[in-house]
């Protein structure tokens, strides 16, 4: 079974600074997808960024980028120029690829609470 681990229960950052959230996962599959979701106090889960395992290039979405290390099974999220609105719980998630039989099932990490200080 696949597992996702986020070892940082809480992180904090000053506004305009950069912060990196860690995520490791365990899988025997070669085809999969990794995601970072953000859950603000409103509890609405919002997709931040996605990475396909077969792509070597790290995904980037504006101020958000990932460091995907497939061999190390590591998938960290870097938030640059942090803003107050970035404060939320961040979840790392795994999903098997096209050949998998788990279809759309997402396996989530425990989450990291990010606090942004003005």
CA dihedral of 25, 29, 32, 35, whole degrees rounded to 10: -10
45 binds another protein (CB under 8 A): yes
Q: Which is nearer to another protein, 85 or 104 (CB)?
A: 104
58 binds another protein (CB under 8 A): no
Distance CA 107, CA 96 (A): 9
47 binds another protein (CB under 8 A): yes
Helix (H) or strand (E) holding 47: strand 46-52
Which residues are CB-contacts of 101 (< 8 A; sequence separation ≥ 6)?
Answer: none
CB distance 93 to 31 below 8 Å: no
44 binds another protein (CB under 8 A): yes
Distance CA 56, CA 54 (A): 6
Shortest spacing between CB 76 and another protein, in angstroms: 19
Shortest spacing between CB 15 and another protein, in angstroms: 27
50 binds another protein (CB under 8 A): yes
What does the per-residue mask of binding to another protein show for 77-96, with x meaning CB under 8 A?
Answer: --------------x-----
The encoded tokens of residue 2 equal: 């696949």
Shortest spacing between CB 14 and another protein, in angstroms: 28
Contact residues for another protein, defined by CB under 8 A: 33, 35, 37, 42-47, 50, 52, 91, 98, 101-111
């Amino acid at each position: 079974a696949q597992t996702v681990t986020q070892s940082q229960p809480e992180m904090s950052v000053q506004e305009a600074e950069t912060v990196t959230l860690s995520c490791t996962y365990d899988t025997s599959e070669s085809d999969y997808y990794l995601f970072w979701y953000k859950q603000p106090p409103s509890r609405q889960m919002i997709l931040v960024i996605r990475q396909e395992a077969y792509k070597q290039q790290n995904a980037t979405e504006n101020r958000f980028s990932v460091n995907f290390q497939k061999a190390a099974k590591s998938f960290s999220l870097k938030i640059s120029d942090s803003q107050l609105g970035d404060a939320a719980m961040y979840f790392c998630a795994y999903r098997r690829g096209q050949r998998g039989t788990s279809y759309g099932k997402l396996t989530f990490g425990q989450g990291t609470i990010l606090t942004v200080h003005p």
